[in-house]
Amino acid sequence: MDLYFEDGSAYRFHAMWLRDACRDPAHVSAAAGERLLPSTPVVAGCPVSLAAKSAGVESDGSLRIQWDDVVSQDSTFDAEFLRTYASAVAKRIDGSTQAEQPTFSVNVDWLRPYTGYPGVKAPAVNSMRLWSGEGDDMSWREFSFPDLADAHVNLEMMQSLVKDGVVVVDNMPKVDDASALLQFTDDHCGSLQKDPAREEANWKITKKDGAQSISYNKDARLNNHTDQSIPSHGAVGLLLAIHYIDGHGHNTLTDGIAAGEALRRRDPEAFRLLSEYTCDAERDYIASRVDAAQNHTNSLLISTKYPLLQTDADGALWRVQYNEVFRTPSTLPYDIFMKWYEAYQKYVDMLHSPEFERTVEMKTGRLILLQNWRVLHGRAGYQSPSRTLVGGTITRENFYSKACQLISRAHGVDPYRVHVEHA
Residues of the chain with CATH 3.60.130.10: 109-404
Phi, psi of 143, rounded to the nearest 5 degrees: -125, 155
Alpha-carbon span 361 to 353, nearest angstrom = 18
**Radius of gyration for the chain, computed over Cα atoms and rounded to the nearest angstrom:** 26
pLDDT by 10s per residue, the chain, length 423: 999 998 889 999 999 999 999 999 999 999 999 999 999 999 999 999 999 999 999 999 999 999 999 999 999 999 999 999 998 999 999 877 765 445 678 999 999 999 999 999 999 999 999 999 988 999 999 999 999 999 999 999 999 999 999 999 999 999 999 999 999 999 999 999 987 777 888 989 887 555 555 555 556 668 999 998 877 777 889 999 999 999 998 899 999 999 999 999 999 999 999 999 999 999 887 665 555 665 666 677 888 999 999 999 999 999 999 999 899 999 999 999 999 999 999 999 999 999 999 999 999 999 999 999 999 999 876 778 888 999 999 999 999 999 999 999 999 998 889 999 898
- How many residues in total does the chain contain? 423
Alpha-carbon span 357 to 352, nearest angstrom = 6
Nearest to 352 by CA among 378, 317, 371: 378
Alpha-carbon span 122 to 303, nearest angstrom = 26
CA geometry: angle 150, 151, 156, nearest 5 deg: 100
Q: What is the pLDDT at residue 383?
A: 77
Q: What is the pLDDT at residue 290?
A: 56
For residue 16, the tally of other CB atoms under 10 A from its CB is 15
Exposure string for 139-175, b = 16+ CB within 10 A, e = fewer: ebeebebeebeebebbbbbbbbbbbbbbbebeebeeb
CA geometry: angle 314, 317, 322, nearest 5 deg: 140
Nearest to 23 by CA among 84, 95, 88: 84
Q: Return the CATH fold of 2-103.
A: NE0471 N-terminal domain-like (3.30.2020)
Residues of the chain with CATH 3.30.2020.30: 2-103
List the helix and strand counts (H, then E) for the chain.
10, 20
pTM over 0.85? The answer is yes
Alpha-carbon span 351 to 263, nearest angstrom = 11
CATH number of the domain at 109-404, please? 3.60.130.10
Transcribe 68-118 into DSSP letters: SSSSPPPEEE-HHHHHHHHHHHSEEPTTPPPPSS-S--S--GGGGGGS--T
For 266, the enclosing helix (H) or strand (E) is helix 256-266
Is 56 exposed, middle or buried (CB count within 10 Å of its CB: 0-12, 13-18, 19+)?
exposed
- Residue 319's DSSP bridge partners are 310
Would you give the distance in Å from CA 371 to the centre of its chain?
8
Transcribe 327-357 into DSSP letters: B------HHHHHHHHHHHHHHHHHHTSTTTE
Q: What is the pLDDT at residue 329?
A: 95
The answer for 229, left when phi > 0, alpha when psi is -120 to 50, beta otherwise, is: alpha
Exposure string for 254-266, b = 16+ CB within 10 A, e = fewer: bbbbbbbbbbbee
DSSP state of 42: H
Nearest to 232 by CA among 296, 182, 303: 303
Q: What is the pLDDT at residue 130?
A: 97
Nearest to 251 by CA among 392, 399, 396, 387: 387
